[in-house]
Amino acid sequence: MMSFDQLVSYFLPAVMRQNKTHPQHDEFRVIVSSALFAIPLMFLFPVFLLLLHKPVVGYFINDILLIIMLISIKVYGHYRIPMTITALATYFIIYGWISDSGLIYSSNVAILHIYLLAAVWADRKYG
% of the chain beyond a pLDDT of 90: 12
8 Å CB contact between 33 and 6:
no
- Say if CB 87 and CB 120 are below 8 A apart: yes
pLDDT of residue 76: 92
pLDDT digits (tens, 9 = 90+) for 85-106: 888 887 777 776 666 666 556 6
Residues 13, 16, 22, 26, Cα dihedral to 10°: 80
